[in-house]
Amino acid sequence: MSLIIKNGKILLEGQLVHKEVEIEDGKIKRINDYIDAENHEIIDAKGHFISAGFVDVHVHLREPGGEHKETIETGTKAAARGGFTTVCPMPNTKPVPDSVEHLDRLHKIIDEHAVVRVLPYASITVRQAGKEHVDFKALKDRGMFQFTDDGVGVQTASMMYEAMQEAAKIDKAIVAHCEDNSLIYGGAMHEGKRSEELNIPGIPAICEAVQIARDVLLAEAANCHYHVCHVSTKESVRVIRDAKKAGIKVTAEVTPHHLLLTEEDVPGDDAIYKMNPPLRAKEDRDALIEALLDGTIDCIATDHAPHAKEEKEVPMVDAPFGIVGSETAFQLLYTNFVKTGKFTLEQLVSFLTTKPCETFNLPYGRLEEGSYADITIIDLDTERPILAEEFASKSSNTPFIGEVVSGYPILTICDGEIIYKEEV
C-alpha cells in the first residue's frame, strides 16, 4: 500500500514542524514539506502529531491458556489503539514457550491473529519452575525475542548464573522479574504506612532490590546483558546505577503506573490497585522519575496485565496481581509529565520508541526515511476521560478509569498497513 500522510507535524530538533510522510512497501520512503499525492491513498492528519509507533517490551497477552483475560487478537488490538506497533509478550502462559514445539504453536497464533508486530519471549526455565534450563540455542534459532521467567523471580543463584552464561553465548539477554520469594511474606501491597493503615500484608522493598544486587554481579561474571523488569524501589535504582557505573551490561524499564502512583493512592482494600511489584512510597516514585531522566532506567514498558472483572472483585490478598496499560500509557504520561513540564515531548516519545529499541538492538521505533513504516498519529489537544467501554482489550483492570487526559492516538500504522483508526 502506498500512503501519504498530509497535514501533520513531526518532532524535529525538539520542535513540532509541518511535514508530509510517504509510505511505500512497508517503509517510510520520504519525509518532506510537500509530496505529490498522485496514485497514493491520502491520510489527513488534521494538524496532529505524527510519531514513530511505540515499542512495548513487556506485555502479557495471556494466550494460550488465559483467553478469558486476553487473547493475542484483543491484546494486539489494544496495543494498536494505544499507538504501539511492536509488543513483546511474556511467557507466563499455558503452556509456557519453553520448547521449540510450544514456541512454534505460539508463533502460529501470532501469525493468524496479531495486528501489531509481536516478538515473544521464551522462558529461562522449563515451565518457569526454576528447576531446569530451557534449550537456549534451539529457542533462539526458532525466533524467540529474549529469555525471561517474568511473573516469578529465578530463586537460586546457580540457576541464574548458568542461564546468563548460556544467554551470553548466543548474544541474548536475561530479562528478570526480581523478587526473592523468601521476602514476600504473603504480601498484597507495598509494606509501608498504607499497608499498616489498611491491615493488609505488605511486600518489603528489599524483596526486589536484593535480587537485582545478586544478579548484576552474576551478569558481570557471565558477561551477559541483564535487563531488569518494572523497577519500583529507590534501592533498586541505587543498585542499577552503581552497576552501570561499574561497566556491567545492565538495562532497566519502569512502568507508567509506578511513575504515576504511590501507596498513598491505594484507597482501601481494592484489588484494582494490586500489582507486582506493588505501588511503592513517594520517595521510590521520585527516585524512578529521576532515574529515567538521568538514564539509569532506560525505557518505559507497560507490563499490560489483563484480568477478568470477577478476578479483581475480591479482597486484595485473594486477587491476582496486574493492571492493564496498553491503551492508556501515552495519554497518562503525556498529560501528567509533558503537559506539566517534567518531561519534554521528545523525551517521552524516546522512552517509548528509540530507547526500548536501543536496549534490545531492535530496528524499529524511528520516524525517518528508510525505516519501518510504524507510525501513530496522536491528538495532543483533545481532553476526554478514559472509558472502559472503549477498550479493545478484554479487560479493564486499571485505577485510571475516568481520569481526564489528552494525547489519544487516533490512527496507527504497522509495516505500512493501517491497523487502528479511531471511530469518530
- Its sign, for the CA torsion 284, 297, 324, 98, is negative
Which residue from 399, 377, 323 is spatially nearest to 54, judged by alpha carbons?
377
User: 92 a known binding residue?
Assistant: yes
Which residue from 342, 204, 352 is spatially nearest to 284, judged by alpha carbons?
204
User: 84 a known binding residue?
Assistant: no
Which of 303, 374, 379, 415 is an active site residue?
A: 303
User: 379 a known binding residue?
Assistant: no
- Taking the CA of residue 113 as centre, how many other CA atoms within 13 Å lie in the half-sphere pointing to its CB? 17
Cβ(8)–Cβ(50) below 8 Å: yes
Which residue from 147, 52, 144, 59 is spatially nearest to 107, judged by alpha carbons?
144
User: 343 a known binding residue?
Assistant: no
User: 322 a known binding residue?
Assistant: yes
User: 257 a known binding residue?
Assistant: no
Q: C-alpha cell of 391? A: 477498550
User: 107 a known binding residue?
Assistant: no
Residue 309 and residue 347: Cα distance in Å, rounded? 35
User: 68 a known binding residue?
Assistant: no
User: 147 a known binding residue?
Assistant: no
Cβ(58)–Cβ(390) below 8 Å: no
Active site residue 25: no
Where do we find the cell 533498586?
236
Which residue from 76, 140, 60 is spatially nearest to 111, judged by alpha carbons?
76
User: 321 a known binding residue?
Assistant: yes
Residue 306 and residue 296: Cα distance in Å, rounded? 28
Is residue 406 classed as helix, strand or coil in its secondary structure? coil
User: 336 a known binding residue?
Assistant: no
Which residue from 83, 102, 75, 82 is spatially nearest to 91, judged by alpha carbons?
102
User: 139 a known binding residue?
Assistant: no
Is residue 115 classed as helix, strand or coil in its secondary structure? coil
Where do we find the cell 494538524?
47
Which residue from 329, 357, 334 is spatially nearest to 345, judged by alpha carbons?
334
User: 361 a known binding residue?
Assistant: no
Cβ(297)–Cβ(250) below 8 Å: no
Q: Which residues are annotated as a binding site?
A: 58, 60-62, 92, 150, 177, 230, 276, 303, 307, 321-322
Annotated binding site for substrate: 60-62, 92, 276, 307, 321-322
Please report, in range form, the residues annotated as the binding site for Zn(2+). Answer: 58, 60, 150, 177, 230, 303
The residues annotated with a catalytic role in the active site are 303
